[in-house]
Amino acid sequence: MSAIEDLATELSKLPGIGRKTALRLTYHLLKQSREQSRRLAESLLTLSDRVKPCERCFNLTEDDVCGICRDPRRDQSVVCVVEEPSDIGAIERAGGFRGVYHVLGGRLAPLHGVGPEDLTVVALVERAANGSVREVIVATNPSLEGEATAVYVQRELAATSVSVARIAPGLPMGGDLEYADRAAIAQALAARRSM
Ligand code: ZN
């Protein structure tokens, strides 16, 4: 495979990048200096070397424990459960939430081979059972799989003493939290309902 083909193939694996765009980007990269190419390659390697899941909440971090978990102003007794680290960004941008998070690492999707063992639910139950958590808010996406995941999380937490709430309906069904508008996210969190 040629170097051009090779890079275009790698780029076309990225979300939202089709074959045509991948080739256009490849030709664009060919025009830049060797120094620019080196910086791009190095930052990709640094990214995969340094970024890892937070030991406590599975958010992405360059430290053992992420900045949100370490922040003394955050309420450690309220845990918001999300599917992906990018959902944390969406909720943080919406503002108003002062608790901490727990990233599941996806949602239950039996048709795509994603089962409970692929998510961090066991770690969540351990967190909830250690006594420092008062409330868990399940903010999985408003999709069928997201709802099924929320029900699963609630059942797994039933043996603990924490209260479990689901974000209020109102976010676009099937949409991703990541793309919902700030006011809608803040409203869904504020109007959460006990499960
Ligand atoms: Zn964390």
* Alpha carbon of 75 to ligand 1 centroid (Å): 13
Q: What was the pLDDT predicted at 19? A: 95
Which carries the bigger pLDDT value, residue 176 or residue 21?
21
pLDDT tens string 121-134: 999 999 999 889 99
* Alpha carbon of 180 to ligand 1 centroid (Å): 23
pLDDT tens string 63-83: 999 999 999 999 999 999 999
Q: β-strands 52-53, 60-61: how paired?
A: antiparallel
Cα(54)–Cα(49) distance, rounded to whole angstroms?
A: 14
Cα(66)–Cα(177) distance, rounded to whole angstroms?
A: 21
* Alpha carbon of 164 to ligand 1 centroid (Å): 20
**Confidence at 41, pLDDT banded by 50, 70, 90:** very high
- Kindly state the average pLDDT of the residues 85-103: 94
Q: What was the pLDDT predicted at 181? A: 84
Cα(188)–Cα(148) distance, rounded to whole angstroms?
A: 18
Q: What was the pLDDT predicted at 137? A: 96
Whole-structure pTM value: 0.84
* Alpha carbon of 90 to ligand 1 centroid (Å): 16
* Alpha carbon of 71 to ligand 1 centroid (Å): 10
Question: Is the confidence at residue 135, as pLDDT, over 80?
Answer: yes
* Alpha carbon of 187 to ligand 1 centroid (Å): 24
- Kindly state the average pLDDT of the residues 177-184: 82
Retrieve residue 134's tokens.
């008062």
* Alpha carbon of 15 to ligand 1 centroid (Å): 26
**Confidence at 180, pLDDT banded by 50, 70, 90:** confident
Q: What was the pLDDT predicted at 173? A: 65
Question: Is the confidence at residue 17, as pLDDT, over 90?
Answer: yes
* Alpha carbon of 100 to ligand 1 centroid (Å): 8
Cα(159)–Cα(138) distance, rounded to whole angstroms?
A: 16
